[in-house]
Amino acid sequence: MGIASGALKEYDEALDYYRLAEDHLERANLSDRERASLENNIGLVYLDKGEYDSAKPIYEKAIRRDSLLNLNPSLYAKIMGNLAMTDFNLGNLDSVEDKLYRSQYIQDSIGDQEGQSRNYYNLALVNKEIGRKADAFIFAGNARDLAREIDNNLRYMESLKLLAELDPENANTYNLEYIRISDSLQQEERRIRNKFERIRFETEETQSRNEQLARQRFIWAGIAAGLLLFAIALSIIVVQRIKNQRLRFQQQQQEANQEIFNLMLAQKQKVEEGKQSEQKRISEELHDGILGEMNGVRMILLGLNKKGDEAAISLREQAIEKLKGIQEEIRSISHELNDASYQKFNNFMNSIDDLLKNSCEPAGLHYHFSYDQDLDWDQLEGFTKINLYRILQESLQNCLKHAGATSIYVSFEIEGSDIALTIQDNGRGFDTGKGKKGIGHKNIESRVKKIKGRWYLRSAPGIGTTVLVEIPLDHISREAKKEISLPKDLQEA
């Protein structure tokens, strides 16, 4: 496009196209040869415009490109000739002929007839300027002949015009030939101009379509960006809403927990109030009822100590009956105060028998149970009964899980000042010196310590296992001790 614009003498447009080409060369990182070719074309535009000062530095830069003579001698010779004509037009005639002859030599060596024709014409102009018309005429004739041979009409016409000036006698012949060629060139120029205008129109149309496509892409990109932003905003809103719902749920849960806590506090307060009320009631009954009656009995007995008649004996018997009534009343209040966990052991031996039956029979384990009939086992303290019950329960579980026994023997006996619980099975046994204590044995040891007793474990492989627990007899309940400590006649009564 730059070359075509230059040929149509549209120099500014040509320079614009060349600048675009230069930008592409910079991005494409092309070789020095392509850059030198572009610089030669730009210099030629300035040369045709008559701006010789602008053309000269461009040609000098192009001709200094690395290895240009070896890589492209035709281009090098062309740049050398254009530089020579730039100096000629600037009036620097000292090295013009040398540069032209050197350019001519290179073009002749490579057979560049186009370049030779141009150099012949330039040599004719230089020789005409310095007054060597004969040499100028010869060079102009050579330029004309080569131009005609290679169909370079512009160079042919320039040579005819120069020959008419150098050979006035035959000027008419040269001029007629010039006019003929000029007419044909004008027609060709109009054809080329029309073609160029069509190319320009198509180019502008293509650019317009590209701009339209670019605008459409921009619009679609904007729509896509908008949809993306909308999706992001929507996701943020949804996430925030979920977080808000979570917070509301947590707040509701906290409020519910607080309400439950308040209800628990209220319930606890009611329980405490009930305890205090019950304690007050029992205290009043003990103070107002039992203590009053016992004081009355005490006064009666004190008054009867010095009397031995039948009336005194009758009164004493009535006092004893009164004391028995008071004893039963105290026992009733005591039972009311007993904890629910102790109440299940009101008949201790029956509870033990139920435990053995419920544990052994489902497992097919035969059991033998015996206990000392002379002791009222229900008089044991509730805390002691619970721990003995749990120790037996843990031992039974160990037997069922690990012993592989077919029978088990359980006894509750009195041995001196101790209560002895014996649990013996005929299982496989184990070496007590090996391994660590299990949780079951640790629980048994803990419970034995709670009731200040002692326990022994005897076992060996093949002879079964025996657990012996001994606790002091002082674990009999306070009520039983008080009953035992009454005077003999009251005990008999």
> Residue 388 in contact with residue 345, Cβ under 8 Å?
no
Predicted pLDDT of residue 290:
64
Q: Report all structural domains of the chain as residue ranges with CATH numbers, in order of start.
A: 2-216 (1.25.40.10), 342-484 (3.30.565.10)
DSSP3 helix / strand / coil % (the chain, rounded to 5)? 75, 10, 15
Strand partners, 466: 424, 458
Cα 73 to Cα 80, 119, 147, 231, 326: the distances in Å are 10, 15, 21, 64, 144
Q: Residue 118 burial (CB < 10 Å; 0-12/13-18/19+)?
A: buried
Structure tokens belonging to residue 428: 């496989």
| Beta bridge partner(s), residue 414 | 419
Report the pLDDT value the prediction gives residue 273, as an integer from 0 to 100: 80
Q: Does the model's pTM come out above 0.75?
A: no
Instruction: Find the farthest-apart pair of alpha carbons in the chain and give their distance in angstroms, rounded.
Output: 202
User: What are residue 468's DSSP bridge partners?
Assistant: 422, 456
**pLDDT tens sequence for the chain (493 residues):** 888 787 777 888 888 888 888 788 778 777 778 888 888 889 888 888 888 888 889 888 888 887 788 888 888 888 888 888 888 888 888 888 888 888 888 888 888 888 888 888 888 888 888 888 888 899 888 989 988 888 888 888 888 888 888 888 888 888 888 888 888 877 777 787 778 778 878 888 888 889 989 999 999 999 999 999 999 999 999 999 999 999 988 888 888 878 887 777 777 778 778 777 777 666 655 644 465 456 556 666 666 666 767 777 777 777 777 777 676 667 656 555 554 444 444 578 888 888 888 888 878 889 999 998 888 888 888 788 888 888 888 888 888 888 888 899 999 998 888 889 999 998 888 887 776 667 778 888 888 888 889 999 898 888 889 999 998 887 665 554 444 444 444 444 4
Q: For 468-487, b where at least 16 C-beta lie within 10 A, e where not — what string? A: ebbbeeebbbeeeeeeeeee
For the beta carbon of residue 454, count every other beta carbon within 10 angstroms. 12
